[in-house]
A and B are shown apart, each in its own frame.
Chain A
Amino acid sequence: MLPIVRAGFVAGTLVALTNLCLPAPSGAQESPYFVTYDHYLEEPGNLEIEYFSTVGTQRGGNNFHAFWTEFEYGATAWWTTEFYFDGQTTFGDSTVFTGFRWENRVRPLKHEHFINPVLYVEFENKNGADKILKEGEGHDVEADFLTPNDVARKDHIHEIELKMILSSTVKGWNFAENILAAKDLSNSPWEFGYALGASRPLALKASPNRCTFCPQNFSAGAEMYGGLGDRHHSGLHETSHYVAPVVAWNLPSGWTLRISPGFGLNDNSHQFLLRWGVSREITGFGSMVSRFFGGRR
């Protein structure tokens, strides 16, 4: 079986099991971004299970399919915590598990403002074969991905990543700016990166009827992301950058589908990245777990 089909099958099974085993879905209103974060956190007590794929081209080597699964939980209305498990298949090489990440986003302000900050802290335990391109950072370039999997996976990376997420919503448009600083916990310098996004629902008014294809269920926009060098050599020299239109379809049944074709903006970038994702939000997950352990909720 082709690795991409196998990964799709695994994702499909996971999502189908989610559908069968867990209680009522919520009508998610998810942003279409893949890389950029806006300031909206997961609703408290809800769990969102997400599967994402990135198929990327590789000059001088084999194309790849990287994939990750996220479990995003709203611990409170101001704190969201998230686990990722990721892996990749390099065509003509192998399929490898590439690590896990634990991410936390905290909203420091009580009310909405014109610009809303969110603080982001992530711990990554991954290996050198990681190709999910969840962010652009430092001097990461396309040529880094040429190392064969069996060599690259021996390189263990423990990294802390900090982000300042700034986001505004004006007349239905969301504008988000993320500044990133990442530090490999071995002896490496701080690396920097950025992500920018703008998106808007296709309609700003809800329809009186429950509908699947209504324009308000779709949101579209674009994001741009890339590296900004490191502490010793900051700037755009030897960095990669991407621009990607993004579309999300929030189905009334609680599913969200996303797709985004991404384009490299310079010779250090992969020429093309096709991303897609499927997610489902499970309401009341926290209460369900609490009841399971004898809680009153």
Chain B
Amino acid sequence: MKVHRASRLLIAALLMASEGSAQQDKTATPKDQRGSSIYAELGKAPEKARSKRNPMETDKDAVAAGRNLFGRHCAECHGVSAEGGKKGPSLRAEEVQNAEPGTIFWILTNGVVRKGMPVWSKLPELERWQLVCYLKSLGVAAKPGETTPANQPSAAAKDPASPCR
């Protein structure tokens, strides 16, 4: 009897876990729509966080270190080249690339927990800034048919001395 009760508990747990995943699926509308609602989170960063200066912006290794961190922690959801993946939006969209470094840092620190983006404050602060450097170094991805995005210089045209800005 106890074993049956335990089995029922186990099955209930699995169903609840699946339901949790399914809830996430329900929010996964077409990529752009999902993206735009996620990008709205950038606007929620408080002024104090937005104006934070990136302490790694003059570190010549920051972009390379950020690339490694991105590969380990972010590429699974946002895609290897940050152009969006199965679960996460493109980080090469104008909304992200035009955001202040402090805003991206704030999102990394706080996550967007209700929409599936975990909190990344377990990475030390400097590592999060290294990630910001890498993301900002990527520039806006060109849309199909475009050679250079309209509102942003390509990554190659960025100031090589401080690609984090």
Contacts and interface: CB of A to CB of B under 8 A. Distances in A.
Interface of A: 24, 26-27, 29, 31, 38-41, 43-45, 73-79, 81, 83, 100, 102, 107, 110-112, 123, 125, 156, 158, 169, 171-172, 174, 201, 204-210, 216, 252, 283-284, 286-287, 290, 295, 297
A27 B72 contact: yes
Contacts of B13: 81, 83, 102
Contacts of B21: 44-45, 75-76, 286, 290
Nearest to A296: B25
Given A110-B114, A210-B68, 18 more contacts: A29-B122, A73-B17, A76-B20, A77-B114, A77-B116, A107-B113, A107-B119, A112-B109, A112-B110, A174-B122, A204-B124, A206-B68, A206-B126, A207-B65, A208-B64, A209-B68, A290-B21, A297-B86
B150 interface: no
Contacts of A73: 17
Contacts of A290: 21, 25
A252 B72 contact: yes
Contact of B125 (A100, A107, A204): A204
Question: Chain B interface: which size bin?
Answer: 35 or more
B6 A207 contact: no
Contacts of A24: 76
B86 A204 contact: no
Given A45-B21, A216-B127, A286-B21, A208 B9 contact: no
A204 B127 contact: yes
Interface string B66-87: 1011011100100000000011
Nearest to A73: B17
Contacts of A38: 122
A27, A79, A102, A287 pick with most chain B CB within 10 angstroms: A27
